[in-house]
Structures are given as structure tokens and as C-alpha cells.
Amino acid sequence: MWVDSFELRLTKPLGTAAGQITERRGLLVGIQRDGYRGFGEATPLAGWTESYEACERALTKAAADGYTPNPVETPAAAHAVDLAELDAIARRHHRSLAAELRATVYNSDQPLPDTVPVNATIGDGGVDETVDAALAAAEAGFEWLKLKVGVREPEIDLERVQAVATAVDDGVSLRLDANGAWDRPTARRVVDRLVDLGIKSIDYVEQPIAADDLDGLAALRGRGVDIAVDESLTNYSLADIIETQAADGIVIKPMAVGGPTRAVEVTRRARNADIEPVVTTTVDAVVARTAAVHVAAAIPDVAACGLATGSLLADDLTVDPVDVVDGCARLPTGAGLCEDAFVGLWPNNSD
């Protein structure tokens, strides 16, 4: 097993629940099993995974003595190893990573979709800027728009949402992502106002209140707008979220839950509890983004996912093998992640 570091710039700073990010530092992993190569990626993100330093230590140990990173303590490192192993296994079985995951987790060999629906992300700009971005995304074929809210005053956010709902076609659904910005009373007021305004195109409000307030999230459900959790999955287990009835939907980041296998397992358990899963990236490089598309494709009848994030990076490790056209990400063909698309990433001095 080999490990190489990389650093990629973002096109512009990106606001997250843990603050702004301007670059993505990560580690590329390669293994060889029975003559088949596998690629993995670890791109830690503060607030969702371990630190870069902790990830690097775990992967260095894994390369030195076969250590298996702990998916709870170092989920990004565990993601890299799990992905590399899966890639090699799928290549050996001469099937795609998505097919390998569906067979392993869902025990199904049903045909995979050619594409996965994805949402466009709209930033927290003013009303006119938000509407222009939403119209551009809808014109590009996106039928799901994810609007960042919570940075501005609630009344301004409501104005932005209503303006977008009025501007786009009825077939476009809106997702509102507050990143835990509101307290309980504010979140309740916003949800009730969304219902009063009659905005029927809202799919859900994501993480309206703090990640550690499962009881508060549960209290927001049943008011007329679905509630989804994201950051809460880094604070609590899925079992906790199910037990407290805190969510109608759950956002699953393979990098944050410890790898593609665990991500698909979480989706299956969520579905069994009537919680709809959505797969997103953590603004990853091309290897992990491609894996996230396979994770989404492995889920039967998956909802629109947050996978169109490659444009957030100013540069990348190599050419992206996933095309996003008309609001859908196309599943790469060939065995493993994408046949030979990443072959140039393999170091010349590694066997």
C-alpha cells in the first residue's frame, strides 16, 4: 500500500458549519490485491472527520503494518482504505464499484441506473443573486436546488426562498440548508412561515438547529415541512436518530461515515426506518467524488444527491470521469471506480 499527499485550491472560499475553507488537503491511497489495483482517497474536513494530521498518521500506520483505520475515530482514513479495497475487489469481479456495493449490502444484482439525479447548490447571496443562480441551475437541467440559508436574517431568507420558488418552474424542488444556524424558536418560526407562504416545492429543511439537539429536531417534524439531518450524524449514531425520531431524511457523506461500504449500509438501515437517504461529498477530490456517485447508484431509487461539487475546486488530481448533464451524474462504465481513468495516478515506483 502506498500513500501520497495532495493539496487542491477552491475556486472561492466555501462556508461550512465549521467555518470557511479555501483548500482541500488529502491523501491518495493505492493497494494491489491478487494483481488488481485499487485507489482510495482521504480528504478530511473539520467538523465532519478527524484532522488531516490524525488521518495521515492512521494511513501511514496502515501502509507500514496493515493496520485498519477505525471508522469512528478516523473516518476519512477508513474511507480511503475501504475504497481502495473495494476498487480492487470490484475489478477482480469485473463489475463496477456500485454493483459490488449493491451486491454486498443489498444482496441484489438488479441492473444499476445509468445516471444519478443531483442537486445544484445555491449560495447565501442576496435575493437577486440567489434567483439568478437558481434560474441558471434550472436552465442547466437541475430539478433540485439546495439553497444555503441561516447566514442572513430569517425574514430575508424567507424572501429569498419565496423569490426562487416563484421564479423557477413548478417541477423544481427546493432544499434549504441552515447548517444548524437557528435556535429552536427561530427554526419553528421559519418552518411555520414556509407553510403559511404555501411554498409547496420545498423538499426539506436540512439541519435547521444544532447537530446535538435531536429532541429539538424531532419537535420540528410534522409541522408541514420535512426535516433532514447532516451534521447530527457526526454527533450521534443512526440508531440515536431513529430512536428520537429526529429526521425525515438523512444526508450521508461517505468520507464522514468511514467509507463507501458503511455509507451504503447506513442508507439501507435508514430506509428500513422510513428515513430517506441523500448522498453528498465533503468537497472531495475526483477519486472520492467518483466513489460517491457509485455509492448513490448502489441505492435503489435514490433521491437527488449532492454530488455536483467538482466545480468548487480550481484544480484536481486528474480529469473527472463523471459527466453531470441535465441535472444528473453519469455512472462511469467499466470495472471498479472507472476502469483505467485513474491509472496515471499510480506512482511509477509502486508495484
Please identify every residue annotated as catalytic: 148, 253
Closest CA to 279 of 246, 302, 313: 302
Q: In terms of DSSP bridges, do strands 276-279 and 144-148 run parallel, antiparallel, or are they unpaired?
A: unpaired
DSSP readout, 109-134? -PPPPSEEEBPEEE-S--HHHHHHHH
339 close to 333: Cβ distance less than 8 angstroms: yes
Sequential DSSP letters for 173-232: EEEEE-TT-S-HHHHHHHHHHHHHTT-TTEEEEE--S-TT-HHHHHHHTTSSS-EEESTH
Spatial distance between the Cα atoms of 238 and 214, rounded to a whole number of angstroms: 11
| Burial class of 128 by CB neighbour count within 10 A (0 to 12, 13 to 18, 19+) | exposed
Nearest to 79 by CA among 4, 29, 35, 21: 29
CA 103, distance to chain mean position in Å, is 21
Asked if residue 71 lies in contact with residue 259, where contact means CB atoms within 8 angstroms, the answer is yes
User: Is 21 strand, coil or helix?
Assistant: strand
Under DSSP, the state recorded for 302 is P
What span, in angstroms and rounded, lies between the C-alpha atoms of 315 and 11?
8
Give Cβ neighbours of residue 185 (< 8 Å, ≥ 6 apart): none
Under a CB-based contact definition with an 8 Å cutoff, are residues 27 and 56 in contact?
yes
